[in-house]
Amino acid sequence: MPNVSQRGIQMPPSPIRKLVPFAEAAKKRGTTVYHLNIGQPDIETPAAILDAVRHTDMKVLEYSHSAGFESYRKKLTGYYQRNGVTVNEQQIIVTTGGSEAILFAIMSCMDPGDELIIPEPFYANYNGFAISAGIRIIPIPSGIETGFALPSIEAFEKAVTPRTKAIMICNPNNPTGYLYSKEELDVLKEICLKHDLYLFSDEAYREFCYDGRKHISVLSLEGLDNHAILLDTISKRYSACGGRIGAFVTRNQQVLDAAMKLAQARLSPPSFAQILGEAAVDLPSDYFDKVHAEYNARRDLLVKRLQAMEGVVCPTPGGAFYAIAKLPIDDSEKFCQWLLESFSHQGATVMMAPAAGFYATKGRGKDEVRLAYVLNEEAINKAMDCLEVALKEYAKQNGTSK
């Protein structure tokens, strides 16, 4: 039997999905499982954009342009303009989800052995794309004690080597919910210009910023036209995760040329979801007002409940729909499995993502979990009831309260 590839072996299984069999077993036993483990919102996809797909009258489901429908890209320029980003439709490549945008950035800009600096914790799937592409992720620590603020300029400088090719951020951040300030983005800009590095910015959660703060895109920073690459997706914005439509946006023509060849090799992004995405650009602006208010209320509730639990640390996230909490436990993977296998409270339990999977540095995040506030307030309250009782019971059984 031939061997599978080394990269196939090294590729990490999804840390979010690893616990799924335990959740399935719990459900089979009749236990309700509150899923705070995955960024799959329960918010309804706007009916108007689903209708756009339903009312399509095509006769032949043809390939689209490899960069996506021209009509969609033109509309997207308006969307970006409203968000402080001036680009034309030739500077946008529509991708198959944000995932493909990330892969295009790495593949267009980096060769095997090149290094990508990312503040950790970071979105776990970046690891998979790095292994696929043969590049190295160099993590630099951000920590729960600073609320996951951008690491210091010195930390970046220390990480830069001759093989460093790019810095990557997710803003607002998955998994931390951290929203980078203008000052922090200016620090990144300075480092990128000084060392001639690309700046990849995953801005999937742009619309979800709280406490009156505004999101700032890397493409709105002056002087970074050749360095900044915006990676985007409609998945979270419009609760359209299954559509698989994203965007790769940059003003660097050479990068666009390279990414365009990658886009041609895979022919075209999915047409139905492009129709959905195009309709989404025309949604009335109060769509985001409502969704924003909903996530804001959920965040407030989740954080209030977590912060009220003994021994729990949870910085208030400034954006996205995630929070990381440090729990008074020994090992969050063990704890999360225990929650599914051995615990229930009033017939229910809670599923969370052990945070170690979001750190590249071994041992970090071992007592942390990521919670996605993608359920309604009633469910969040019940999930927090479970967690509160569970922490006490777990401490009694394990004697590991800190």
Q: Which of residues 46-85 bind a copy of itself (CB under 8 A)?
A: 50, 53-56, 58-64, 66
Residue 270 CB, nearest approach to a copy of itself (Å): 4
Interface region with a copy of itself, contact rule CB under 8 A, candidates 168-176, 193-201, 297-305, 320-328:
193-201
Looking at 282-331, list the stretches that DSSP marks H as alpha helix, in order from N- to C-terminal side.
Answer: 286-307
Question: Is 36 within 8 Å of 306 (Cβ atoms)?
Answer: no
Residue 258 CB, nearest approach to a copy of itself (Å): 3
Query: What are the angstrom distances between the C-alpha of 2 and each of 5, 8, 12?
Result: 9, 13, 21
Cα separation, 364 vs 154, whole angstroms = 20
Tokens standing for 370? 């990521």
Tokens standing for 346? 């009033």
Cα separation, 378 vs 381, whole angstroms = 5
Question: What does the DSSP assignment read for 327-347?
Answer: -SSS-HHHHHHHHHHT--BTT
162 part of the interface to a copy of itself, by CB under 8 A: no
- Options 110, 150, 247, 281; binder of a copy of itself; rule CB under 8 A: 110
- Options 178, 198, 358, 359; binder of a copy of itself; rule CB under 8 A: 198
Tokens standing for 190? 């300075």
* Residue among 243, 267, 252 at smallest CA distance from 218: 252
- Options 99, 381, 400, 401; binder of a copy of itself; rule CB under 8 A: 99
Cα separation, 229 vs 252, whole angstroms = 8
Cα separation, 203 vs 189, whole angstroms = 16
Residue 173 CB, nearest approach to a copy of itself (Å): 18
Residue 108 CB, nearest approach to a copy of itself (Å): 5
Using the minimum distance from each CB to a copy of itself, give the nearer residue, 134 or 141: 134
Tokens standing for 92? 């946008």
273 part of the interface to a copy of itself, by CB under 8 A: yes
Angle at alpha carbon of residue 236, lines to 372 and 247, rounded to 5°: 135
- Options 268, 332, 344, 349; binder of a copy of itself; rule CB under 8 A: 268
Residue 308 CB, nearest approach to a copy of itself (Å): 31
28 part of the interface to a copy of itself, by CB under 8 A: no
Tokens standing for 264? 């041609």
Residue 134 CB, nearest approach to a copy of itself (Å): 6
The overall longest dimension of the chain from CA atoms, in Å, is 66
Per CB under 8 A, contacts with a copy of itself among 276-335 are: 276
Interface region with a copy of itself, contact rule CB under 8 A, candidates 269-277, 307-315, 364-372, 380-388:
269-277
272 part of the interface to a copy of itself, by CB under 8 A: yes
Question: What stretch of H or E contains 371?
Answer: strand 368-372
- Options 157, 196, 282, 289; binder of a copy of itself; rule CB under 8 A: 196
Per CB under 8 A, contacts with a copy of itself among 225-264 are: 226-227, 239-244, 252, 254-255, 257-259, 261-262, 264
Using the minimum distance from each CB to a copy of itself, give the nearer residue, 2 or 212: 2
Interface region with a copy of itself, contact rule CB under 8 A, candidates 28-36, 95-103, 204-212, 359-367:
95-103
Per CB under 8 A, contacts with a copy of itself among 118-147 are: 125, 128-129, 132, 134
Using the minimum distance from each CB to a copy of itself, give the nearer residue, 241 or 395: 241
Cα separation, 20 vs 146, whole angstroms = 32
Q: Measured between alpha carbons, how far apart are the two ends of the chain, in Å?
A: 50
Residue 318 CB, nearest approach to a copy of itself (Å): 25
